[in-house]
Chain A
Amino acid sequence: EVQLVESGGGLAQPGRSLRLSCTASGFTFGDYATNWVRQAPGKGPEWVGFIRNKVFGGTTEYAASVKGRFTISRDDSKSIAYLQMNSLKTEDTAVYFCTRGSRLDVDAFDIWGQGTMVTVSS
């Protein structure tokens, strides 16, 4: 079964760090881009950033709201993507989803994980 499973969410104080993991199975993880999308309670989805596959250099792009604070990386040998979140703010509180960029349209996310909740609060 093709799936993505996020882990690492929880409660963090403002200014602290948290690292999320996204473990893929059922497909060749290294062939695809991985995006992170978050959704604050009662709000719509917000794109966080993505990492291209190695064929396209494994480079990253980020939303302005997280640029300089969040870092996406990948370990294709383990089929895992990471979202390192530093200098957390209360407005980062959300469910974080990792998603797969479709081969047919890289901006279309055809597989989503179940999400992991991140709460930033003192």
Chain B
Amino acid sequence: QSVLTQPPSASGTPGERVTISCSGSSSNIGSNTVNWYQQLPGTAPKLLIYSNNQRPSGVPDRFSGSKSGTSASLAISGLQSEDEADYYCAAWDDSLNGLEFGGGTKVTVL
């Protein structure tokens, strides 16, 4: 059971906007940055968003991140078929003294 809670699934049609939430607490999201990863089937996770809302070079600007209090969100605008993947949030937890991943959200493009 992860300390970061994500919905298990999300879906949308091509072109739609999909939002994934990540809920935590004061010891993790509330006091540290949130990072997001995309994992395509059979591959290693890929860094999608770092420091709450920054995109690494090469990540399309369709992906955006935000954080407020003890929650964070990943938004995918203009959903494309290649966005079908698992998405994980992650943040350091000061109480556990370790990095925690959310349980993951599977995005399906209808």
Interface residues of A (CB under 8 A from B): 35, 37, 44-47, 50, 61-64, 97, 102, 104-105, 107-110, 112-115
Contact = CB atoms under 8 A, between A and B. Distances in A.
B104 interface: yes
Given A108-B50, A110-B56, A115-B44, A64 B92 contact: no
Given A47-B101, A61-B97, A61-B98, A105 B35 contact: yes
Contacts of B37: 45, 109
Contacts of B100: 47
- Which of A63, A64, A105 has the most chain B CB within a 10 Å cutoff? A105
- Which of B32, B37, B86, B103 has the most chain A CB within a 10 Å cutoff? B37
Interface residues of B, number: 28
Given A44-B88, A105-B33, A110 B101 contact: no
B98 A108 contact: no
Nearest to B100: A47
B104 A113 contact: no
A102 B44 contact: no
Given A44-B2, A44-B103, A44-B104, A108 B97 contact: no
Interface of B: 2, 32-33, 35, 37, 39, 44-47, 50-51, 54, 56, 86, 88, 90-92, 96-104
Contacts of B92: 107
A40 B81 CA distance: 26
Contact of B54 (A64, A97, A104, A115): A104
A46 B37 CA distance: 13
B98 A107 contact: no
Nearest to B33: A105
A114 B98 CA distance: 23
B47 A102 contact: yes
Nearest to A63: B98
Given A102-B50, A105-B50, A112-B45, A45 B88 contact: yes
Contacts of B104: 44
Contact of B99 (A47, A113, A114): A47
